[in-house]
Amino acid sequence: MTTTAVRPTQRPSRLIPRRPTKNRILAAWARHAVTIAILVIMLYPIIWMVDASFRPNALIGGNVPFTGPFTLQNYIDGLTPTSTLNFGLYFVNSFAIAALCVLGNLIACTLTGFAFARLEFPFKRVLFALVMGTLLLPYQVTLVPQYIIFNKIGWLNTFLPLVAPKFLAVDAFFIFLLVQFIRGLPRDLDEAARLDGCGNWGIFRRVILPLLGPAIATTAMFTFINAWNDFLGPTLYLSDPSKYTVPQGLAMFVDSTGQSSYGSLLAMATLSIAPLIGFFLAAQRLLTQGIATTGIK
Amino acid sequence: MTRTSTLEGRMRRAGGLLVTPERAAAIKRRRRRDNLSAFGFLTPWMIGIIVIVLGPMLASLYLSFTNYDLIGTPSWIGLDNYKRMFTADSRFLHSVSVTVTYALVSAPAILVFSLLLALFLNKGIRFLAVYRSLFYIPSLLGASVAISVLWLQVFGGDGMFNDVLRLFGIKHGSWVGDPNTALGTVITLAVWTFGATMVIFLAGLRQIPESYYEAARLDGTNAWQRFWHVTFPSLTPVIFFNGLLVVVHSFESFTPAYVISGGTGQPADSLLMYTVYLYQRGFVDYQMGYASALAWILLLALAIIAGLIFWSSRYWVYYGEDS
């Protein structure tokens, strides 16, 4: 209690270990218990869905998870083409669209991000303000004319309205993310490359691009998630069932499903979130860092 | 300009005699050419911002003063769309009230939940990275149709939620089918995805220097005082940022209300979110002019709300002593 002598008003309890060690271990356990309890309640619907998707139709509902009996029949039924639904095709379509969106965003947003982070050009501040301005622009305000344009040029029932804009760097979030990341790279590297005779393209290609790993991974991941989950875009532009994406298929399925195919509906829903969970587990560090720096969801 | 001189200065320092005036001039020339080449890098973005963003924005402003069904030509009707909205369209007013209710309940709930849990997890808990990832999973999936489909089950008549209630002897019909509770289920879905906001709070909490807390402890403060005088002020920029994002996103939510109501806003229009109504008017009824007017009202409303949040931030957001 030496501090009480120095500062009589000090409450000594704050400067010594606050509780006996045993209680602290107990407190830590309690903290974990509360956290896990909240997580179980939150994630229970997903756990239930995964579990139910492996059960025979008659046995769905009211079961204790992980107790069986299990079957793959729902997945086989769900993926087998019927007169109205063809989930195998929807998965191919969804993957194709998401992959093209990722490619487009990576090319266009790295180019744009490099220009704003490293190059000098007239009206740079105004143009960057424009990027930031479009960050919070509600998409509805461009929706109708975009639809009219894509309709007029005959792009309905093609993937182009969903994919082409990505090659034109319309996702301001990723430009912002890449600008922030490139600004953090040391400028000495650019100057050294410039002395070695590199132009802007050379600096971009040989110096900056190889260092963009984490930012590129974050951009790719979020673009994939957004494209994979997108429901409004495909609903607007793809009305031919052979072009449907997985979310459209699920929405169709839910409107038409009866009790007999409930298991396959849950199986397809589970299968549709599997790539997201897979990518997330593979790259969760990058993702959570990305969210923390830019606020992307 | 300043960087050109820095470059030359650096080269003189590094290379000494190597940099002749001619060479410096050549470098300057190339630098100028490079500046022009910047627009090469910007070409995709410039095409995009004009063709996909600004052009359509202006077009939708124009269309909002017209009557246009996609087949004929737009006919100018002045402010009629806007007048009709506020005087003769009860579904519009209803969709505004549904959306405002949704935003007013879900946004504060998300902020409070995620902040409380971030504070709870921030106290040096082990496996934080694992917990953080697990809490993030709903945010990852929240916008997917799969989760909306799952929600139909969870809050359906024979759903999981009623199974739990039955344990307590409470009997209730379908929650998604009841006009009084349907919006509540969609709000629940939104609040369920609080993980992304929580991750940002956790990152913000980590930025607060430990020395602030030590100083506060030396002053004999209790935990509540430390929260109120250290944690909260230091976190206000993050709360501001999160608040802005959550509020704006809540006005743009579409998929859950659309899928859970089967695209109709039913039961009894209780799920007629603004975005769903806009979709119906534009792409079911093909009233392109009216839908554009709805979009511009949304833009104006969001601009005013964001402006108010920015304006208010002067009074409650703390950016440190020296700034």
Residue A190, domain extent: 78-294
Same-domain pairing of A247 and A266: yes
Q: How far is A171 from chain B (nearest CA, A)?
A: 10
Same-domain pairing of A56 and A104: no
Predicted TM-score (pTM) of this structure: 0.84
Of A28-32, A92-96, A130-134, B170-174, the range with the highest mean pLDDT is: A92-96
**Which of B39, B56, B125 is facing A142, going by the closest CB pair?**
B56
List of chain A residues whose C-beta atoms are within 8 Å of the C-beta of residue B306: 136
ipTM for the assembly: 0.82
Residue B1, pLDDT score: 40
Cβ–Cβ gap A38/B291 under 8 Å: no
List of chain A residues whose C-beta atoms are within 8 Å of the C-beta of residue B55: 145
- What is the CATH classification number for the domain harbouring A278? 1.10.3720.10
- DSSP assigned state of A122: T
Q: What does the pLDDT average to over A277-292?
A: 71
Phi, then psi, of B67 in degrees rounded to 5:
-110, 120
Instruction: Answer whether residue A181 is part of any domain.
Output: yes
Instruction: Answer whether residue A9 is part of any domain.
Output: no
Query: Which chain B residue is nearest to residue A132, measuring alpha carbons?
Result: B49
Instruction: Answer whether residue A14 is part of any domain.
Output: no
Same-domain pairing of A124 and A38: no
Instruction: Answer whether residue A133 is part of any domain.
Output: yes
Residue ending a domain, choose from A39, A71, A103: A71
- Asked if the C-beta of B72 comes within 8 angstroms of chain A's C-beta atoms, the answer is no
Is the CA virtual torsion A210, A168, B246, B145 positive or negative? negative
Contact A214, A52 (CB under 8 A): no
Instruction: Answer whether residue A13 is part of any domain.
Output: no
Cβ–Cβ gap A112/B42 under 8 Å: yes
Instruction: Answer whether residue A242 is part of any domain.
Output: yes
Cβ–Cβ gap A165/B254 under 8 Å: no
A11 pLDDT above the threshold of 60: no
Cβ–Cβ gap B121/A247 under 8 Å: no
Residue B146, pLDDT score: 92
- Asked if the C-beta of B109 comes within 8 angstroms of chain A's C-beta atoms, the answer is no
List of chain A residues whose C-beta atoms are within 8 Å of the C-beta of residue B200: 291-292, 295
CB atoms within 10 A of CB B96: 19
SS3 at position A95: helix
pLDDT in tens, B101-134: 999 999 999 999 999 999 988 877 788 888 888 8
As for how many domains chain A has, the answer is 2
* Residue B114, both tokens: 């995620």
A227 pLDDT above the threshold of 90: yes
What whole-number distance in Å separates Cα of residue B141 and Cα of residue B255?
Answer: 12
Residue A194, pLDDT score: 84
Q: How far is A11 from chain B (nearest CA, A)?
A: 6
Query: Which chain B residue is nearest to residue A137, measuring alpha carbons?
Result: B299
Cβ–Cβ gap B42/A115 under 8 Å: yes
What whole-number distance in Å separates Cα of residue A21 and Cα of residue A28?
Answer: 11
Residue A293, pLDDT score: 58
Q: What does the pLDDT average to over B290-312?
A: 93
Binned at pLDDT 50, 70 and 90, residue B153 comes out as: confident
Same-domain pairing of A207 and A138: yes
Binned at pLDDT 50, 70 and 90, residue A258 comes out as: low
* Residue B33, both tokens: 């050419």
Cβ–Cβ gap A120/B3 under 8 Å: yes
Instruction: Answer whether residue A8 is part of any domain.
Output: no
Same-domain pairing of A66 and A126: no
Distance of CA A72 to the CA centre of its chain: 28
Same-domain pairing of A43 and A125: no
Residue B10, pLDDT score: 56
Residue ending a domain, choose from A42, A71, A100: A71
| Mutation target among A39, A142, A178, A198 for the B interface, most CBs of B within 10 A | A142
Cβ–Cβ gap B55/A254 under 8 Å: no
Query: Which chain A residue is nearest to residue B280, measuring alpha carbons?
Result: A236
What whole-number distance in Å separates Cα of residue A239 and Cα of residue A229?
Answer: 17
Query: Which chain A residue is nearest to residue B1, measuring alpha carbons?
Result: A120
> Looking at A94-103, B10-19, B162-171, B217-226, which range is the least confident one?
B10-19
Same-domain pairing of A31 and A170: no
Binned at pLDDT 50, 70 and 90, residue B160 comes out as: confident
Instruction: Answer whether residue A114 is part of any domain.
Output: yes
CA angle B67, B72, B73 (to 5 degrees): 60
Residue ending a domain, choose from A71, A104, A137: A71
What whole-number distance in Å separates Cα of residue B137 and Cα of residue B135?
Answer: 6
Binned at pLDDT 50, 70 and 90, residue A6 comes out as: very low
Same-domain pairing of A41 and A150: no
**Which of A111, A225, A288 is facing B44, going by the closest CB pair?**
A111
Query: Which chain A residue is nearest to residue B23, measuring alpha carbons?
Result: A195
A45 pLDDT above the threshold of 50: yes
Which residues are CB-contacts of A180 (< 8 A; sequence separation ≥ 6)?
A293, A294
Same-domain pairing of A158 and A285: yes
Same-domain pairing of A156 and A264: yes
Same-domain pairing of A114 and A66: no
Same-domain pairing of A96 and A43: no
